[in-house]
Amino acid sequence: LARGTAAPDLAGRHVVISAGGTREPLDPVRFLGNRSSGKQGYALARTAAARGARVTLIAANTALPDPAGVDVVRVGTAVQLREAVLKSATDADAVVMAAAVADFRPAAYASGKIKKQDGQEPAPVVLVRNPDVLAEISADRPREGQVVVGFAAETDDVLANGRAKLRRKGCDLLVVNEVGEQKTFGSEENEAVILASDGGETAVPYGPKEALADVIWDQVTSRLTQRRA
């Protein structure tokens, strides 16, 4: 579909997309974070809006302009992201977890800036697990028939890891891409394989993140029409 002439095949649908990367604070000035730019999630939001959807974009620490006609909810941490996604997903037809959610957060938050102590080695940073939003939503869908999509960035054994992750998470679709120092993070383009829980496998060649987004929406709409014609 050419940009601007998209068929309104998501009209009447509400889609929730998480984008960006969570930051887990250590103290008022420091955090544990990741390199997700949010561009793929924003491309998903723009293309869904162009196809007629009502779009809620849960944006974690992104520095991108708000897409026109999209409800943007800003969050910082994984716990905040979970709350925002669960709240907006209650009436959503599809939830797409494009955000890079930190697996761990510091067990303790220092309300004052952590200072060096003369002659002392630093204390180790103790981490605890964050909630797994994708697994939670997949196991207990906030709305019946909802289509749930995850993303996975892998560095090794990309497809084997992707298939195992799809089963573990319990989502309908998992968009798997290979990452490395020069690949994907912050770039305008992406290539991926979309793995489906029904065994389907769709390779999307290297190209704009909008093109990958449109293939994802094609797969989501076909599942929505099967479930609720």
Catalytic residues: 34
Among 70, 89, 94, 99, binds ligand CTP (CB under 6 A): 99
Q: Which does 132 bind (CB under 5 to 8 A by kind): Ca ion, ligand CTP, none?
A: ligand CTP
Locate 178 and state its tokens: 């290979």
Tokens coding 161? 């890891």
- Choice from 103, 178, 189, 218 touching ligand CTP (CB under 6 A): 103
185 assigned to a ligand binding site: no
Tell which positions 102-131 bind Ca ion, by CB under 5 A.
103
Q: Residue 14: what are its φ and ψ, rounded to 5°? A: -110, 125
Q: Please tell me whether 132 is known to bind a ligand.
A: yes
Distance between CA 221 and CA 7 in Å, rounded? Answer: 12
- The DSSP H or E segment spanning 71 is strand 71-75
What, of Ca ion, ligand CTP, none, does residue 218 touch, CB below 5 to 8 Å by kind?
none
Distance in angstroms (rounded) separating the CA atoms of residues 185 and 35: 6
Residues 137-176 that bind ligand CTP (CB under 6 A): 150-152, 165
Of ligand CTP, Ca ion, none, which one sits near residue 189, judging by CB under 5 to 8 A according to partner kind? none
Asked if 97 interacts with ligand CTP (CB under 6 A), we say yes
Determine the distance from the C-alpha atom of residue 96 to the mean position of all C-alpha atoms in its chain, rounded to a whole number.
6
152 beta partners: 176
55 is in an annotated binding site: no
Which residue type sits at 51?
R
Distance of closest approach, residue 185 Cβ to Ca ion, in angstroms: 15
In the complex, least distance from residue 129 CB atom to ligand CTP, rounded to whole angstroms: 8
By the rule CB under 6 A, 101 interacts with ligand CTP = yes
Tokens linked to 5: 């002439």
Look up tokens 């999630």; give the residue: 41
Going by C-alpha positions, the residue among 224, 228, 227, 226 that lies closest to residue 51 is 224
Positions 198 through 227 that interact with ligand CTP (CB under 6 A): none
Q: What is the Cα–Cα distance from 141 to 147, expressed in whole angstroms?
A: 9
Q: Provide the binding-site residues for ligand CTP, judged by CB under 6 A.
A: 78, 97, 99, 101, 103, 130, 132-134, 150-152, 165
Per the annotation, binding residues for CTP are: 103, 113, 131-134, 151, 165, 169
